[in-house]
């Protein structure tokens, strides 16, 4: 599907008396057709004028709806080329689990492809050195990578590894292997991890890499990983496209006891 005729428009679908404003109703109309896969990636939305005539709304209303679609990472607006669908409903969603963290990260490394963007030995900031519990003068390797699945980007990763650990592998390995595997091979198998999950807005660099609009909500996971000797062997900040990655947890409850995570 490559033309605007793939989209269904109908004035009867809008309700001026509804709680949701008209621009939001138009947004929902397009969003449902895009996310459901009814309209394929690279299809063109109807022009602003076509939408105005079909739905009987103002240009301001249409533009706000289209801008909201772009901010959500569903479409891209291009001057002279119209509005094009960028969301690929056929692309898989990656799922990870709290209960099997290391196993899930290893499996993710096998099932996805990684592209090395940057790698450099640097002097860590005071805050980073303190977080990683590094001795005075210890440097770290700063690694920036992009993960994709079936050609669709879903995570932007900024990792710091102590230099004494990073010296056991080269850039070629970074561009092809999971860091979990590299740490294992270096004799620093991750055995424990602490992580924090928050929501953030995509800045320009990350938005460009993940092919989303600047300001789009992303899932941010910060993780510290330790080996059997309790040394921090990896500090990583990962930004995930919320439409391509999910974290899930299984809970159980026995009697009147509190809910606990299944192991």
Q: Cβ distance 48 to 10 under 8 Å?
A: no
pLDDT of 9 > 90? The answer is no
Helix axes 59-71, 48-55, angle to 10 degrees: 120
Asked if the model's pLDDT at residue 210 lies above 50, the reply is: yes
Q: Compute the distance between CA of residue 136 and CA of residue 121 in angstroms, rounded to an integer.
A: 15
* 107 to 113, 178, 198, 204: CA distances (angstroms): 12, 9, 23, 29
pLDDT tens-place string over residues 63-101: 999 988 887 778 888 877 789 888 777 665 555 554 444
Q: Which residue has the tokens 């969603």?
A: 93
For residue 3, pLDDT beyond 50: no
Our CA angle for 204, 209, 211, nearest 5°, is: 90
Q: Which two tokens stand for residue 183?
A: 């740490």
Taking only the tens place, the pLDDT of each residue in 92-138 is 555 555 444 444 555 555 466 788 999 999 999 999 999 999 999 99
Q: How far apart are CA 84 and CA 161, in angstroms?
A: 40
pLDDT of residue 119: 93
- pTM here? 0.65
Sign of the CA dihedral 149, 151, 156, 158?
Answer: positive
**CA 51 to CA 15: how far, in whole Å?**
15
Which tokens in the block code for residue 69?
Answer: 């679609």
Q: Please report the domains of the chain, with CATH numbers, ordered by start residue.
A: 4-85 (1.10.10.10), 94-248 (3.40.1410.10)
Q: Looking at residue 120, what is its pLDDT?
A: 94
Query: Percent of the chain at pLDDT above 90?
Result: 30
Tally: H helices and E strands in the chain: 9, 12
Q: Which burial class, exposed, middle or buried, applies to 236 when counting CB atoms under 10 A from its CB (0-12, 13-18, 19+)?
A: buried
pLDDT band at 213 (very low <50, low <70, confident <90, very high): confident
As a whole number of angstroms, the distance between CA 179 and CA 173 comes to 9
Q: Which residues contact 44 (CB under 8 A, 6 or more apart)?
A: 2, 3, 4, 82, 83, 84, 85
């Amino acid at each position: 599907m490559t033309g605007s005729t793939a989209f269904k428009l109908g004035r009867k679908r809008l309700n001026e008396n509804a709680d949701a404003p008209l621009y939001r109703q138009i947004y929902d109309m397009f969003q449902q057709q895009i996310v459901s896969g009814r309209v394929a990636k690279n299809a063109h939305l109807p022009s602003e004028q076509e939408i105005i005539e079909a739905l009987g709304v103002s240009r301001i209303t249409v533009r706000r709806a289209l801008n909201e679609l772009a901010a959500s990472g569903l479409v891209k607006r291009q001057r002279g080329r119209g509005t094009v669908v960028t969301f690929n409903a056929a692309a898989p969603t990656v799922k990870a689990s709290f209960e099997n963290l290391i196993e899930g990260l290893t499996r993710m490394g096998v099932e996805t492809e990684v592209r090395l963007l940057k790698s450099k030995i640097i002097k860590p900031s005071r805050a980073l050195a303190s977080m990683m519990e590094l001795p005075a003068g210890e440097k770290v390797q700063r690694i920036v990578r992009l993960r994709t699945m079936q050609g669709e980007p879903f995570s932007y990763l900024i990792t710091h590894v102590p230099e004494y650990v990073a010296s056991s592998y080269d850039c070629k390995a970074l561009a092809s292997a999971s860091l979990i595997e590299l740490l294992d091979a270096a004799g620093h198998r991750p055995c424990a991890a602490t992580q924090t999950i928050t929501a953030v807005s995509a800045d320009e660099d990350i938005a460009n890499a993940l092919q989303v609009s600047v300001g789009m909500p992303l899932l941010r996971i910060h993780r510290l990983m330790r080996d059997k000797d309790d040394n921090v062997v990896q500090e990583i900040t990962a930004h995930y496209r919320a439409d391509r990655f999910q974290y899930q947890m299984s809970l159980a409850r026995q009697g009147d006891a509190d809910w606990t995570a299944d192991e």
